[in-house]
Structure 1
Amino acid sequence: MSRGKKLDLFIGADIEDGWAKVESPRKTAVSDEILQPSKHFLFFKKEKRRGKTVTLVGEFHILQNDSEALLKALKKKLGCGGTFKDGWMEFQGELRDKLRELLISESFRFKNTH
């Protein structure tokens, strides 16, 4: 096979032949309910992505503007990168202890197991 040509393979069925597209449900259901920080019960998850540790904290039930402002302030205090997806804040690195202190100072609460 030469390097300049790509293979054009078609594997599968046409949707017009009576087949239906299967869509997987979301992993987490995003709630429309807005809670005060003292009503949240947050917990941590730790994941490895591409060999790096990512700390997840959530699930947050706050307005989009409030979540962006909180995320920006936390990233600045921690000196790391992060994002907000589906009600969870993701931070680059192992930051569980530092995050706990900062979020408690913002009046968020955590589950007893963590």
Structure 2
Amino acid sequence: MDLQDQLKNLFPDHEPSTEIEEVSNEPKELYIQKEPMICKFEKRKGKPTTIIAGYEGADEDFKILAKEIKNKLAVGGSFKDGEIIIQGNYRDTIMKYLQEKGFKTKRVGG
């Protein structure tokens, strides 16, 4: 008994869909703003963090940007309250990456 037969036994009323969903692998264009994004370094609970704030576009675009940065640097981080929080002091690297993508950046603190 193959998988299809087992599924038919479990779900006899289910009709398999013949439609194929189109998945786009094209990178989404991000909104490039005129005001600079703020990159700052903080210590939270004794650990260094890099915080990026000041994005004026949609939150979904900012989440995509956060994911790109985390993948490029191979570090952990999160997106909270309109800020990207990256674990570690990667301020210079992130600023350089954002400038390559066409964003203006502003270094805040030390």
Measured against the shorter chain, the TM-score band is: 0.5 to 0.7
1:62 matched residue in structure 2: 57
TM-score normalised by length of structure 2: 0.63
Structure 2: tracts of 5 or more residues without a match: 1-29
Q: Given the superposition, is the C-alpha separation of residues 111 and 97 from structure 1 closer, same or farther in structure 2, using an over 3 Å criterion?
A: closer
Give me the whole-angstrom Cα distance separating, in 1, the residues matched to 2:74 and 2:56.
24
Counterparts of 1:80 and 1:113 in 2: how far apart (Å)?
A: 21
Could you tell me which residue of structure 2 aligns to residue 102 of structure 1? Answer: 97
* Counterparts of 2:58 and 2:47, CA distance in 1: 29
Q: After superposing the two structures, state which structure 1 stretch, 65-74 or 36-45, moved more.
A: 36-45
Under a length normalisation based on structure 1, what TM-score does the superposition of the two structures give? 0.61
Unaligned runs of 5+ in 1: 1-34
Aligned partner of residue 41 in structure 2, secondary structure: strand
Distance 2:100 2:34 in 1: 14
Identity of aligned residues (%): 34
| Rounded Cα–Cα distance in structure 1 between residues aligned with 2:38 and 2:74 | 21
Deviation at 1:84, TM superposition (A): 1.6
How many Å separate the matches in 1 of 2:108 and 2:66?
24
Q: CA RMSD in A?
A: 2.2
Q: Tell me, in whole angstroms, the C-alpha distance in 2 between the residues paired with 1:90 and 1:112.
A: 15
Q: Which residue is 1:73 aligned to?
A: 68
- One-letter identity of the residue aligned with 1:69: I
1:92 matches 2:87: yes
Structure 1: distance between partners of 2:70 and 2:51 = 13
